[in-house]
Structure 1
């Protein structure tokens, strides 16, 4: 008697497609911006297979042995995780730096299969590009394992319902409820909560379960009409191809943080996956076509590939500092190809020497088989010595990694330094305002350079705040993490309405995403024709950086009172002064950032009226005949 399902045509190939989508999304995000949907394809496959396995066991034996079911799941999932954690933690310790940050809570999440909820509780972001989270990909494994823990009990209850259509409707209702909950809780700023949550991201698992119930036909009063059945039979392969094409379109178009993804997009992906599975397993042609050699090879090793690909990428990026953002495409291709090769080697070894033996003979059987291949006392002694030495080294490395892990990344340290500088300046300004009553400015007053500058920016400007304050005393800085160009018009409009917007406006908001010409035009409209505008170029290993800088340069060239502060060109030869993320400046980098803005101010300046001084004369916003005092740049 066997309760193990036979191999179903097409599923290995579909797994291969799914893992390829995820890997390409992580390694080359510009190629497949929606490749993250591969995880949802895995969810549907898992829900389908697990439900079919449980129903098959009940049909054959009259019961579901929960202990045996969970043991099989553990033998499938846990053994590959042990070397993964030990090897990668040791490698992270040898590399050092930012890759060690948060390693303790990541291991807690991995060991408990609660990575998703541990991440949510710690406010970690799936979409953050500044924190090299080593085991981030284990969130989906946690969602599946939590499903495996709860679903057998729910299925036992459902199987008590004799009407098959009612059972199907109940499971479909669970899927729709999960998808609706995702749409309701979705937040555009950072959708990590709905992406990670087992409650909001289980609809793919329920969709697969519903398909398994439907194909079992147990308890259904009657099948479809003969004509409909014949029509579906004739169109099965075509529907499968169309659904697969729909998945590829989704992988090319769905945005990872966009509203359409979380309010229907991922549910549609799950439904399309269900159609592909149905077409593959219910008839000849389409299923075997999916199981082509390369796809089947990837599918059989998909678990190991998924486990290894992300942490290997993180470690390769940490060990291979960018050669310069002047060629981000070439650098990214090199990193991706090296990480891909290492991933295939690790996943292949795991499949050949660990997953297959444990799956076929169990842990003890695998040990006995290995022992039988070692002949003689000397061979066994060598084997035990190698295993013991390796285990000791990896255990020591993992322990050292946990002990030496810093509390936050170098980028976070620099951002925190900038936040402290801004907070201190604000407190000093408030104290000065309470102590003194400033008289009205006269035409002969010469304010400090920074008194005439409003700066609005992202975390790069924030990390440079102390140096900006040193170079431009009195500068007003409004900068925060993850801010994009789209936020600038509203921020500047609010300052203009409050009367706090100064004559020179510096905007540094190109790091976190593409920009549009309409956003720059809106900024120019808000600040008005009497204010000067300086746009700071971006420096980051991001696909959009080159386009952002081209747009900024084009806009500044078309407007007389707009100048470019070329941070990108200034910092490119000096990346050693940046944090490990190769984006955020330390003190030396902050001085380069301030110098880039100073150079832009000088280009806007009028010829100096006397030797030794460069004068930057500003128009009077009120239209007064009294000229505004010059901004002196020594």
Structure 2
């Protein structure tokens, strides 16, 4: 505790930076607990370095003595040391500013594209299909589904899409109850588990609503949240019981942070293609 107390200020300063650039399932892949332990160790290591190289020299007066001793050095040495100090500080500030601005701009651009995609009005396809009487797809879910709908429709006709930002399981059950009346004989595709911790009752209710569809395709969640693994275990269990196809997006996207927008949930174009590929291979 004493060791932590001596470094508490540095821990406070470093933890935000480290935790922002080492987000599980976004910047790093692996076990949640292992990544958490690694992040804590990195914070402690940086805090210890800061204490030894910054805080203690300042507290002991070494930095103050160095500046005070400047006047006793030759003009040439003074000029050289001041120039080196000024150049070092300038380069550091410019580098940090450039990196920060670039990261922020890149993040903003990616999120703007994602928001533009999911906020486009959903054009409901007519429920009358082609003369072959082969029904199109019934697709439902949350904002991730909104983001992939155009790519999926390009691959195979969607007869009905019903998706909304932030949709949770209770609402999904309600819309399925309504929409299935018009979608007999259609393959149903939906994602599950992004926006809330699922209960067994909710998952059973969802599968009961669609159990009569000829094919059920369910995409699990890769969301960097504490409920991800438990949700995916429930999804896998009931996909098996109801004979549904589970698209294991958590496994497919593992090690591919380039699939995701900065929030670690929504998809950039590369992620959209991978997501739809994983669905299309089962159609």
Please state which band the TM-score falls in when normalised by the shorter chain.
0.7 to 0.9
Aligned to 1:26: none
From 90, 101, 111, the counterpart of 1:392: 90
Q: 1:511 aligns with which of 181, 194, 205?
A: 194
The 1:402/1:321 distance shift into structure 2, 3 A limit, reads: closer
Tell me how far 1:338 sits from its aligned partner.
2.5
| Contact 2:191/2:220 (<8 A) preserved | yes
**Correspondent of 2:203 among 520, 526, 551:** 520
Following TM superposition, by how much is the alpha carbon of 1:386 offset from its aligned partner in structure 2, in angstroms?
3.1
CA distance in 1: counterparts of 2:113 and 2:141, whole angstroms: 18
For structure 1, the 5+ residue unaligned runs are 1-294, 358-364, 602-634
Tell me the alpha carbon deviations over residues 9-44 of structure 1, each in whole angstroms, 9 at most, x when there is no partner. xxxxxxxxxxxxxxxxxxxxxxxxxxxxxxxxxxxx
Residue aligning to 1:372: 68
Per the TM alignment, residue 314 of structure 1 is displaced from its structure 2 partner at its CA by 1.7
Q: Distance in 1 between matches of 2:188 and 2:198?
A: 18
Q: Aligned runs of 1:463-612 on 2, under 5 Å?
A: 463-493=147-177, 495=179, 499=181, 503-525=186-208, 527=209, 529-531=211-213, 532-560=215-243, 562-572=244-254, 575-579=257-261, 583-601=265-283
Deviation at 1:488, TM superposition (A): 2.2
- CA gap of 1:565–1:395, structure 2 versus 1, over 3 A, is closer
Q: How far, CA to CA, are the matches of 1:349 and 1:591 in structure 2? A: 48
Residues 84-108 of structure 1: CA deviation (Å, up to 9, x unaligned): xxxxxxxxxxxxxxxxxxxxxxxxx
In the TM superposition, residue 331 of structure 1 has moved relative to its aligned partner by 4.5
Q: Deviations over 1:210-231 (max 9, x none)?
A: xxxxxxxxxxxxxxxxxxxxxx
Q: Which moved more, 1:501-510 or 1:467-476?
A: 501-510
Larger radius of gyration: 1
Per the alignment, in what secondary structure is the counterpart of residue 507 of structure 1?
Answer: strand
TM-aligned CA deviation for residue 419 of structure 1: 1.7
Residue of structure 2 in register with 1:415 after alignment? 114
Quote the Cα distance in structure 2 between the aligned partners of 1:485 and 1:598: 24
Shift of 1:466: 2.3
RMSD between aligned residues? 3.8
1:529/1:484 CA distance change after superposition, 3 Å: closer
1:449 is matched with: 136
- How far is the alpha carbon of 1:310 from its aligned partner? 0.7
Residues 389-433 of structure 1, C-alpha deviation per residue, up to 9 Å, x if partnerless?
12211332354356644174465245225325x52x51x75xxx7
Q: Deviations over 1:316-335 (max 9, x none)?
A: 559x943x45x555445434
- For 1:302, the equivalent position in structure 2 comes to 8
SS of alignment partner, residue 515 of structure 1: coil
Cα distance change on mapping 1:509 and 1:529 into 2, 3 Å:
closer
Structure 2: stretches of 5+ with no match in the other structure: none
Cα distance, 1:392–1:516 mapped onto 2, change above 3 Å: same
CA deviations on 1:111-157 (whole Å, 9 max, x unpaired) are xxxxxxxxxxxxxxxxxxxxxxxxxxxxxxxxxxxxxxxxxxxxxxx
Matches within 5 A, 1:47-196: none
Question: Following TM superposition, by how much is the alpha carbon of 1:520 offset from its aligned partner in structure 2, in angstroms?
Answer: 0.5
- Whether the aligned pair in 1 keeps the contact of 2:219 and 2:248 (CA below 8 Å) is yes
CA contact (8 A) 1:534 1:564 kept: yes
Partners of 1:475 and 1:585 lie apart in 2 by 23
Counterpart of 1:239?
Answer: none
CA drift at 1:336: 4.0
Deviations 1:154-204, CA, capped at 9 Å, x for gaps: xxxxxxxxxxxxxxxxxxxxxxxxxxxxxxxxxxxxxxxxxxxxxxxxxxx
Native 8 Å contact 1:328 1:542 kept in 2: no
TM-score, normalisation: structure 2: 0.75
Distance in 1 (CA, whole Å) between partners of 2:147 and 2:50 is: 38
Deviations 1:498-527 (A, max 9, x none): x556644322122344322111112134x2
CA–CA distance in structure 1, aligned partners of residues 44 and 190 of structure 2: 38
TM (norm. structure 1) is 0.37
Which residue of 338, 341, 363 corresponds with 2:45? 341
Distance between the aligned counterparts of 2:176 and 2:83, measured in 1? 68
CA spacing shift, 1:371–1:583, aligned 2, 3 Å: same
Structure with greater helix percent:
1
